């Protein structure tokens, strides 16, 4: 049990990839803390794990982040999988939507990691999340590419600044079947999954469990820091069917 007697906090652990990471960390022997804005979702995660502690937090609210840190025990690892996405043409995407995305996916994780630093034991790790659009953007995704790139730059900077006391890595997932697309019509969602899968070398989109496995690697491999790990089915070499 690679994480026996270690404590892992997963911000974004109420659903999707975050829940899968929390579940696998628990299975690897860790004491797990899950956090997000939705307490009902956190309760589902702790029920699925059969243990764990739920501490809600809204990463975009400084007072909420301060209260969250006060409630934390000492940690060995912090994973921040919670995020937000805004799509649209550069000429049309409202700047408020872009700012909201940066608040949720960059400034929120930045504030949480900074606040939690005092609770992470030396030798521990921080794992951030970006996404494949950072280095191979798609149409109408320039804003999302920008925020993902900012997260990756932060990862490298923090890995240098905080080492050797802490390791800092970034996981960059490709498209996966997850709660992130829950609002889509089922038929449209399947069409999207199939179209994306056809363009990938693995001929399918991923699962949250596959992304969680990669997160556990970043948490537990003590010689890995400053890395942006692509877990994307080959997105970086995919062939787009048309413009």
Chain segment 1-27, per-residue pLDDT in tens: 799 999 999 999 999 999 999 999 999
| Entry pTM | 0.93
Pairing, β 206-207 against β 75-80:
unpaired
Q: Which residues does the chain have with pLDDT short of 50?
A: 243
The first and second tokens of residue 157, run together, are: 């900077």
Q: How far from 35 is each of 9, 96, 116, 225, 231, CA to CA, in Å?
A: 8, 26, 13, 24, 23
The first and second tokens of residue 145, run together, are: 């590419």
| Strand-pair partners of 32 | 8
Determine phi and psi for 235, rounding to 5 degrees. -55, -35
Q: Is 13 helix (H, G, I), strand (E, B) or coil?
A: coil
> What is the per-residue pLDDT for 243?
42
Where do the structural domains in the chain lie, given as residue ranges?
Answer: 7-232
> What is the per-residue pLDDT for 92?
85
What is the assigned CATH class of domain 7-232?
Answer: alpha beta
The residue written with tokens 């649209």 in the block is 88
> What is the per-residue pLDDT for 240?
66
């Amino acid at each position: 049990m690679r994480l026996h007697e270690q404590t892992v906090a997963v911000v974004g652990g109420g659903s999707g990839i975050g829940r899968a990471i929390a579940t696998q960390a628990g299975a690897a022997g860790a004491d797990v803390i899950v956090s997000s804005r939705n307490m009902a979702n956190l309760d589902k995660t702790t029920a699925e794990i059969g243990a764990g502690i739920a501490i809600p937090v809204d990463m975009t609210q400084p007072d909420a982040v301060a209260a969250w840190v006060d409630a934390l025990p000492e940690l060995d690892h912090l994973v921040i999988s919670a995020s937000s996405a805004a799509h649209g043409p550069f000429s049309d995407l409202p700047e408020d939507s872009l700012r909201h995305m940066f608040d949720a996916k960059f400034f929120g994780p930045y504030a949480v990691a900074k606040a939690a630093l005092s609770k992470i034991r030396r030798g521990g790790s921080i794992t951030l999340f970006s996404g494949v659009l950072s280095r191979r953007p798609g149409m109408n995704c320039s804003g999302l590419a920008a925020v993902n790139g900012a997260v990756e730059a932060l990862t490298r900077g923090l890995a240098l600044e905080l080492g050797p006391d802490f390791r800092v890595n970034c996981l960059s997932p490709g498209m996966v079947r997850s709660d992130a697309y829950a609002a889509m019509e089922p038929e449209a969602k399947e069409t999207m999954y199939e179209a994306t899968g056809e363009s990938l070398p693995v001929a399918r989109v991923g699962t949250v469990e596959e992304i969680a496995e990669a997160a556990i690697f970043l948490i537990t491999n003590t010689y890995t820091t400053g890395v942006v790990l692509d877990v994307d089915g080959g997105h970086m070499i995919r062939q787009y069917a048309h413009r």
